[in-house]
Amino acid sequence: MIISKEELGRITSAACATPHDYLGMHKCKGGVVCRAYLINAKSCSLIELKTGAILPMEKLDKSGFFEIFLKGKRKVFAYMFRVESYYGETRRIYDPYSFLPTISESDLYLFGEGREYRIYEKLGAHIRNVGGVKGVSFAVWAPTARRVSVVGDFNEWDGRYHQMRTLGASGIWEIFIPDVRAGSKYKFEIVGAKSDTPFLKTDPYGIYFEAPPYNSAIVYDMSGCPWRDSGWMEARKNTDLKVSAMSVYEVHLGSWKRKFEDGNRPFTYVEMARALCEYCRKMNFTHVEFLPLTEYPFDGSWGYQVTGFFAPTHRYGSPADFVEMMNIFHENGIGVIMDWVPAHFPRDTFALASFDGSCLYEHADPRQGAHQDWGTLCFNYGRNEVRNFLTASALSWCDRFHIDGLRVDAVASMLYLDYSRKAGEWIPNKYGGNENIEAIEFIREFNTVVHKYHEGVVTIAEESTAFAGVSKPVSEGGLGFDFKWNMGWMHDTLAYLREDPINRKYHHDTLTFPAIYQFTENFISVYSHDEVVHGKGSMPNKMGCAFWDDKLAQLRALYAYMWLWPGKKTLFMGAEFGQSREWRYDASLDWDLLQYAPHKGIQDVVRDAAKIYLDDKALAANDLRSEGFSWINWRDASNSVISFERIGLGGKSRYVVVCNFTPVERREYVVGMPLDGEWEEILNTNAGCYGGSGAGNGGKISAEAVPADDRKFSARILLPPLSTLVFRKRI
């Protein structure tokens, strides 16, 4: 027996931070020693691969610890073990402790610096061929842990058998285990610095997980996921969405439609792609934006409390199914944006919280590390490895899954140290201010890196304050997002329309105010899922009209107004046909409402307004330019009417939009016009085909040289109640 009793006890009690110093083959005084620690092993022999010699090993502990001393041997050599189990099975295996680390010194250095942006290719579980031996390399960051083991269905979840080694001062633990295969379930068993009691954590870098309550990570082989979207990916590089049409359909995958005939289950990734592509093309949406599809344990969080930042949720299929979904979308010309959540993470004990027994990913001080509103934890953006984790997560969705855009949730909560906190509940920054300097630098780095490595991918901020430069380039001092959700426009328009029409004249400035800041950011006009949950009511019920038909007419007018207003567009599912109840994450949308003409009419208005926008490239090209918009009359509060002009890039197209937000028909209403002659009435939300009364202007109007609204020309129009009219001048 070469190993001391103390050293043997440290291995068999799983209390060793350097198991590779003892297990495997090592030179020692007078020869070579080889040790193995094998589960369920009755006996073990050493096989010298060069000679084929089989040398029995001595069993030093009944749990499966074996040792052999080869006296006179001067060098270590290639070997395997011949293992006889208690079940009578005999097999040959390679020794996990005979392999060098699969992570280089350069990887460790860059990770410590926060700049190993593809660290997800190194940490986690990866199927590799090391020296001709196939297996899985496992690696995890746990710097304050005293011991880490890989446990799984390949070692009966026993933390004694695959104890990992630390790699220098990096805090990374690593082991390569031969013969572990795709489909194996695993976790990390950790002994923290403050307690001798081991605990289990799932893999922060896992790519596939089993369902709760077990939450094990699953070894997955992405090499069998073929891509067919090379044409889309190449075209994306040359597409600038700032000057292209962008109509986004926001979707919760589990509740868009469900399979009633199959136990009311949600669609799979592939089923959803096939159905949703057809619908988006019909409705003239250019993109789908999914609520988070990253792994999460609680259905009721809708995906916003993430525990698997690198993994598609298991609910709708495997990573291969996710790839196939993306293939289908891209083959049909539909871009895919996904909500991504670097602002917080849940306290679930199996995931990131207190990962190695310390506050590793979060701040220790709750004044910095806890979200009061959501009961979740804040990332420690000042820690290099945490920033690296988050940036790598973003890149992985672009690399592995060809995501076309990331919409970052709750950016305001990241930017401000006092977000939703009272005095005394937050800590000022080093300058005494409330800006989260570390989070701001992370956001800039995230945007810089994503745009550097994935040309054509867009980033979108959900940011609800007036923080300056959200969609301004990092090089110009901004945060670097491509777009920002226009939360102010959303709240102002809905606040105005909640008013009874008779009172709207007193709130006219609420409707017109957003034009003042419209071009300060690259805005997306949005009515999101947040507006139809938690007792806020459905979109029709937000309309202040007294009668149901009027509410639906108002909604038709609102959506036409939205699509002709400057900026890109996002609309949450169900809103496009006026679903009358709040959204539920566990039930299908009420598609049966489309049998009723008023609801079908809302859907048709969205379809036709989106088509006007999609077909006119010059119009979309001026979405973000003040030259593309001009008020005609924003002062007609007494009638609750607004009118404005949209101008295509280079003046190639001209539109006049008139909105009547009262249930009063206005005949001979005078509108200033930018040009004389005939104008087409290309959209009338009161048309009979949309469920309206049919009153309108017969498809055209004529502008004459009679000044009005500070314009040289004007037209007298019939302005139906609760309607939006769109006129186009062909040039």
**Residue 79 β-bridge partners:** 48
Asked if 590 is an active-site residue, the reply is: no
Residue 204's SS3 state is coil
Q: At 280, which amino acid appears?
A: C
Measured CA to CA, the distance from residue 519 to residue 720 in angstroms comes to 30
Torsional class of 141: left (φ above 0), alpha (ψ -120 to 50), beta (otherwise): beta
Using CA atoms, how far residue 279 sits from 284, 285, 466, 529, in Å, is 8, 9, 35, 19
- Give the distance, in angstroms, between the CA of residue 164 and the centroid of all CA atoms in the same chain: 32
Among the listed residues 95, 189, 250, 409, the single catalytic one is 409
Q: Which helix (H) or strand (E) holds 667?
A: strand 666-673
Among the listed residues 189, 324, 462, 482, the single catalytic one is 462
Q: Quick one: CA torsion of 664, 666, 667, 670, rounded to 10 degrees?
A: 180
Given a contact cutoff of 8 angstroms between Cβ atoms, the answer to whether 71 and 55 are in contact is no
Residue 419's SS3 state is coil
Torsional class of 385: left (φ above 0), alpha (ψ -120 to 50), beta (otherwise): alpha
Given a contact cutoff of 8 angstroms between Cβ atoms, the answer to whether 96 and 138 are in contact is no
Given a contact cutoff of 8 angstroms between Cβ atoms, the answer to whether 622 and 616 are in contact is no
Measured CA to CA, the distance from residue 331 to residue 228 in angstroms comes to 8
Asked if 645 is an active-site residue, the reply is: no
Measured CA to CA, the distance from residue 470 to residue 557 in angstroms comes to 30
Measured CA to CA, the distance from residue 657 to residue 725 in angstroms comes to 6
* Lookup: tokens for 589: 């949308």
Measured CA to CA, the distance from residue 391 to residue 56 in angstroms comes to 50
* Lookup: tokens for 471: 């969609």
Using CA atoms, how far residue 358 sits from 46, 385, 718, in Å, is 41, 15, 69
Q: Quick one: CA torsion of 451, 452, 456, 459, rounded to 10 degrees?
A: -10
Buried-state track 617-651, b at ≥16 Cβ within 10 A, e below 16 = ebbbbbbbeeebbeebbbebbebbbbbbbbbbbee
Contacts of 572 (CB under 8 A, 6+ apart): 250, 527, 528, 529, 531, 532, 583
Looking at the chain, how many residues does it have?
731
The tally of CA atoms less than 13 A away on the side-chain side of residue 169 is 3
* Lookup: tokens for 552: 């639906």
Measured CA to CA, the distance from residue 274 to residue 324 in angstroms comes to 10
* Lookup: tokens for 407: 């919409």
Catalytic site residues?
409, 462
